[in-house]
Amino acid sequence: MLLHTRTIAVSVAVISFFSLSFVGWVSELSPFTCWKRAIIGAVLAYVAAACAVKAINAIVMNAMITQQMNKQKEKNSGGTDSKDSRTSTL
């Protein structure tokens, strides 16, 4: 099952926005500075999370395709992976 990129990336961006805002507030920065840093951090977090989820989806999809190809090969060969006896030398 593939992951939903947008929902995960938005969740990460929202969490990072509020986290960075809180850190700026605790550091006694001006509200504009907190907002600006939080927006930049949220955008970067969104991009990073979207790229990470897309990479994970690509890996999972590749594994699923490989697994299906192996099942298909096994089905076509009759469940055995033995080599032809005429080509083997003893």
Q: What token pair was written down for 7? A: 């929902």
pLDDT at position 79: 58
What integer pLDDT is reported at residue 56 of this predicted model? 94
What confidence tier does 28 reach under pLDDT thresholds 50, 70, 90?
A: very high
33-82 pLDDT, tens digit each:
999 999 999 999 999 999 999 999 999 999 999 999 998 888 888 755 55
Taking the domains of the chain in order of start, what are their residue ranges? Answer: 5-72
CA-to-CA distance for 15 and 49, rounded, in angstroms?
12
Give the pair of three-digit tokens for residue 86.
């005429």
What digits encode the pLDDT tens for the residues 16-27? 999 999 999 999
